[in-house]
A and B are shown apart, each in its own frame.
Chain A
Amino acid sequence: MKKFSLLVTMLLILGVVLSACGGGSAPAEQPPAADAGAAAQTAPSGEAVTINYWLWDANQLPAYQACADAFMAANPNITVRITQSGWGDYWNNIQTGMVAGTAPDVFTNHLAKYPEFAEKGQLVDIQPYVDADGVDISVYLGQLADLWARDGKRFGLPKDWDTIAIVYNQNALDAAGVTLDELNNATWDLETGGAFQELIAKLSVDENGNNGLSPDFDPTKVKQYGLIINGAGEGYGQTEWSWLAATTGWRHIDELYATKYNYDDPRFIGTIQWYADNMKKGFIMPIEQVSSLGGSAAFNTGLGALHSNGSWMIGDFVNNATFPFGFARLPQGPEGRKSMFNGLADSIWVGTKYPAEAWQWVKYAASQECANTVGEFGVVFPAQQSGVDKALAAYEARGLDVSAFTLQATEPDGTFLFPVTDNASQISAIMAPAMESIMLGQAEAAAVLPVANQEVNALFQ
């Protein structure tokens, strides 16, 4: 009896431990890969069809619902059902959905995620559809369309784009006597930190009212930080450090789908060390203070003068900032102003029963008509110029000047592409702790980054 009960206990433990993992889902059989080429020739059949469409940004839901309504009016046999869920759940649901066969027909995809899905044969190559329908991909701004193409295949049509700019707290600028002009024209370089470093020093204030330029400034009792970033930035640093590191001429990778990263470059090491040093000096909010709730939450409560963030966050500042704010240009480095250029696109899952209808929706969501509709909501910049104009008008109607983002996007050489490569999740797992240890001051960038870079590049061997 005793032995038996021990056995039962053991089985129970095994069950509890493993059922959390097995999830009851067997290695599923591959959903039949839709033969996109053949399907492209067959027109939508005309029978009543429901297309499930997922997105993660709640702010964009009304805009795409409006697009879907217009699409359904034009295609009465197709119903588009939109589901929105937060970023974390979103990707879990999509992955488990792909295993269980319940993933959406069409979903909003991200550049950090799509190569893995494509490699595992989960995305429909839409190039045959693009060719068959003669979709003009030159209407998309910049190189947005290129981001979704690889080896002659295409996994999405661009819907929107984003760039990075500086959000400023007007009260903090006024108190320090800093003008928007000064901020817009600030320069930065690796050796001295330039006018930008002087600005963030001047905008840092301790509890005794000394600013960062004063010898009495106490970096352990800072009331207002000159700059707030969102965290250590893992391997991308999109809003955190990519916009400074890139002004030195450094890039994450040399070309799209590269098999080698450049985290061991002295220019990158120098930039990251600059961040760590300025956190120690009390000019940039230490990352341990932003890791729980994020940089924007800290900025919105008035704990910083400047904050770097992406254009998708504009609405968040409108809703949550407790003070007058505005958007300023990024500082100018040795090679000018640089922002990462990132964009979302809709992908079709291979398991869809209605590839032709799914394609119709993807095509419409990336069309000029939908871009204009989305633009009017003023939540995101559509991938086509006419939509951008609508978005600008919508922001202006709300009294917001968002030109810092759009000027960056249209400036010659103002942007560089999101570093799309394979192994994205493994790279994050290596880079996140490495970057954190540097920014927490536990280790020097020059010691950590070359080792991390070796590990990253070994993933591609």
Chain B
Amino acid sequence: MSVQTQVANRSGLQQRRGRRWLNNESLTALLFVLPSLIGFTVFYAVPAIRGLWISFTNWDLLRPARFIGIENYIKLAQDREMWNALVVTVYYVLLNIPLQTLLAMVIAVMMYRLTQSMLIRALIILPWLMPPVVVGLIWLWLLDPNIGIVNLALKAMGLPMIAFLGLPQYAMPSIAMINIWQYVGYTALLIFAGLQSIPGSVYEAASIDGASETQTFWKVTVPLLRPVLVFVIVTSVIGSFQIFDTIAITTKGGPVNATKVLNWYIYEQAFSRFNMGYATAISIVLFLILILVSMVQMRIMRAGESDM
């Protein structure tokens, strides 16, 4: 999705702003884009606009909806569960993103500098290839306090048993860990691709100038990698805010609402409490939050520019 946008930006499409916009070339481009544009309209744009409408109704899934104005939004502002969900979600994003990005960076640089092996590259993205539901189930069993292998290992080392997913204080960190395990390889692969696009001549120049390995990393690699990093962080933050599958499989929002993130709360309101209108209003709020977060990130990290 926004990969194309980024690539388009970087390849200097902006320079063509001045030209007539409907020349042959852009007509061809439009034809190429058309199939995905149709999919986007049918499966994203139309449901999204309809979603906006639903958020102003009291639709309960089964009876006809009635327009109730901004009532859902007023209720939402006073809903303790919703505020708790927001806090829990932000907590998860903070546990998830910094560590995941850091680890992915380390793995990517190691892949780039130390090995050419396709096998290792494949192994690193293996967890990402597994369906999230399977990952959730595997970790549910691995982390089980009674029969899970992780606790057997802790016990063998003489450490006390930990109910990773059963105690409020451990549940969210455990879920963040599971998702880092699943997505770090994929993130590393994206960064790795970014590293490969940095021309070798820059490194040669750096080594001729006598830059150390650390200096090369901070002064050459990181700045030239920035556009890719922006993309990686923006998309993974958005994904992180929308965490659902792992929680649906492992904790279902518990214990004591410790993992009741926004998406789980939305799901619960819509499908077990029959408040589709209210649930959709929360999704709109989540959408606004994500736009805000993404815009701030892109501004701070100067997404549209490159140092290359």
Query: Which residues of A does B touch, CB under 8 Å?
Result: 1-2, 5-6, 8-24, 26-27, 29-30, 91-92, 95-96, 98-99, 116-117, 120-122, 220, 286-293, 297-298, 301, 303, 425-426, 428-429, 432-433, 436-437, 440, 442
Contact = CB atoms under 8 A, between A and B. Distances in A.
A30 B64 contact: yes
Contact of B279 (A21, A117, A289): A21
30 contacts: A2-B9, A2-B14, A6-B298, A9-B2, A9-B294, A10-B291, A12-B2, A15-B43, A15-B44, A16-B44, A17-B286, A19-B48, A19-B51, A21-B276, A22-B47, A23-B47, A98-B62, A117-B62, A120-B60, A288-B167, A288-B255, A291-B163, A292-B165, A293-B140, A432-B254, A433-B254, A433-B256, A436-B255, A436-B256, A442-B168
Contacts of A91: 272
A15 B44 CA distance: 4
B112 interface: no
A288 B166 CA distance: 4
A303 B283 contact: no
A290 B163 CA distance: 9
B291 A301 contact: no
B63 A121 contact: yes
Interface stretch (B188-196, B200-208, B218-226, B263-271): B263-271
Contact of B166 (A13, A20, A30, A292): A292
Contacts of A426: 273
B147 to A, nearest CB: 6
Nearest to A17: B287
Contact of A15 (B8, B40, B295): B40
A372 to B, nearest CB: 36
Contacts of A14: 44, 48, 287
A291 B256 contact: no
A99 B64 CA distance: 10
Contacts of B60: 120
A11 B141 contact: no
Given A10-B291, A16-B44, A292 B65 contact: no
Interface string B277-308: 00110011011001100110010000010000
Contacts of A27: 54, 57, 59, 64-65
Contact of B61 (A99, A286, A429, A440): A99
A1 B166 contact: no
B5 interface: yes
B50 A26 contact: yes
Q: Interface on chain A toward B: helix, strand, loop, or mixed SS?
A: helix
A425 B274 contact: yes
B166 A21 contact: no
Contact of B165 (A17, A120, A291): A291
Q: Interface on chain B toward A: helix, strand, loop, or mixed SS?
A: helix
B145 interface: yes
B62 A121 contact: yes
B197 interface: no
B157 interface: no
Contacts of A429: 81, 268, 272-273
B161 to A, nearest CB: 8
B137 to A, nearest CB: 10
Given A11-B44, A120-B274, 11 more contacts: A1-B8, A2-B304, A13-B291, A17-B48, A18-B283, A19-B44, A22-B54, A24-B47, A27-B64, A429-B81, A440-B255
A288 B143 CA distance: 12
Nearest to A443: B256
A2 B15 CA distance: 11
A23 B279 CA distance: 12
B113 interface: no
Contact of B13 (A1, A17, A30, A428): A1
A98 B287 contact: no
Given A12-B44, A17-B242, A289 B62 contact: no
B46 to A, nearest CB: 8
B146 interface: yes
B17 interface: yes
B14 A13 contact: no
Contacts of A23: 47
Contacts of B62: 95, 98-99, 117, 120-122
A9 B271 CA distance: 28
Contacts of A6: 295, 298
B21 to A, nearest CB: 10
A440 to B, nearest CB: 6
B257 interface: yes
A5 B295 CA distance: 12
B211 interface: no
A378 B282 CA distance: 47
Nearest to B281: A21
B48 A18 contact: yes
Interface in B123-152: 140-141, 143-147
Interface in B90-106: none
B255 A298 contact: no
Interface in B32-74: 40, 43-45, 47-48, 50-52, 54, 57, 59-65
A259 to B, nearest CB: 18
Contacts of A289: 145-146, 163, 166
Given A95-B61, A292-B140, A442-B256, A11 B163 contact: no
B254 A21 contact: no
Contacts of A437: 256
A120 B242 CA distance: 31
A432 B259 CA distance: 13
Contact of A11 (B45, B276, B298): B45
B146 A21 contact: no
A29 B65 CA distance: 9
A18 B51 contact: yes
B160 interface: yes
Contacts of B263: 20
Given A289-B163, A293-B144, A433 B50 contact: no
A23 B65 CA distance: 16
B232 interface: no
Nearest to A350: B62
Contacts of B284: 18
Contacts of A121: 62-63
Contacts of B295: 6
Given A286-B163, A440-B256, A21 B283 contact: yes
A13 B51 contact: no
Contacts of B242: 16-17, 20
